[in-house]
Structure 1
């Protein structure tokens, strides 16, 4: 399976541009292996949102959306302050705490 080409980034590297819309980019300092684990959690949570919607299970949908949010925050794609405004220690703490939370959620 071939990967999609890298999305366009803004000159400062803070955002990706997809179909003309800017989205916050993943923190580039997240180690590749950690980012892969976080993306795996993100995709599993997104699938769980879909299942919950099809089953009209609002509690499961809420829980899955919270996991989506946690993964995106850990990746630096959401949350305040933005990753480029955080110190290296704050950035590391963000992804480590997010991964720990996701690894121990159901």
Structure 2
């Protein structure tokens, strides 16, 4: 299932919560390289958890964070209009509430 993207392209809505989308201004090859690094880091997190290796888990976590910041999903926002970062907010408590509610009614 594809998660809806807010009309301004800043967030994905997953189970009623906003998650910051990757920066659409990234060149496709740059984005693809960082996504590959993110997926490798996530696999490393799983391996470290399964092996109960705290040091490897910390390294993998840092690698996940580095990739997410590079993609624009964490760290400073990638937009420049001064709008606040609503990452992880419930969509119903944000300016996107009306858009999301009308979307649900249409698909409903």
Common fold, TM-score beyond 0.5? yes
- Report what 1:98 is aligned to: none
> Which residue is equivalent to 1:63?
59
Superposed CA RMSD in Å reads 1.5
* Structure 2 unaligned spans of 5+: 82-108
Cα offset, 1:19, TM superposition: 2.3
Counterpart in 2 of 1:42? Answer: 38
In 2, Cα distance between the equivalents of 1:43 and 1:20?
24
For structure 1, the residue ranges without an aligned partner over 5 or more in a row are 87-106
2:80 matched to which residue of 1?
Answer: 85
TM-score of the pair, normalised by structure 1: 0.71
Aligned residues, how many?
81
Task: Give 1:1-106 correspondences, 5 Å limit.
Answer: 5=2, 7-80=3-76, 82-85=77-80
Structure-2-length-normalised TM-score: 0.70
SS at 2:37's partner residue? helix
- SS of the residue aligned with 2:70? helix
Write 1 or 2 for the structure with the bigger share of helix.
1
Q: Which runs of 4+ in 1 moved over 3 A?
A: none
